[in-house]
Structure 1
Amino acid sequence: MIDKTTEDNQGNLPKPVKSSFRKRLLILLVFGGILVGCVGFYVFFWLTHPIGSGPAGPDVNREAFEEVWSEQDVVLLGFGDSITAGYGASPGKSFFKLLVNNPEHDFEDVQGLTLSEVLPNLEVNNLALSGSTSIEQVDVLLPKIEEYPEDVFGVIVATIGGNDVIHMYGRTPPREGRCTARLSQRRSRGLVIMKNVWI
Structure 2
Amino acid sequence: MSADERRESVIRAAITEFARGGYNGTSTEVIAKRVGVSQPYLFRLFKNKRELFLAAALRCLEETPRVFADAVERRPGRSPLEAMAAAYMELIDDRDKLLMQMQTYVAVASAEAAGDHEFGERIRAAWAEVWDQAQVAFGGDAKESVDFLGCGMLINVLVALGFPEDHRVWSGLDMSDIRAPR
**Short-chain TM bin:** under 0.3
TM-score by length of 1: 0.26
TM-score by length of 2: 0.28
Higher-Rg member (1/2): 1
More strand by proportion, 1 or 2? 1
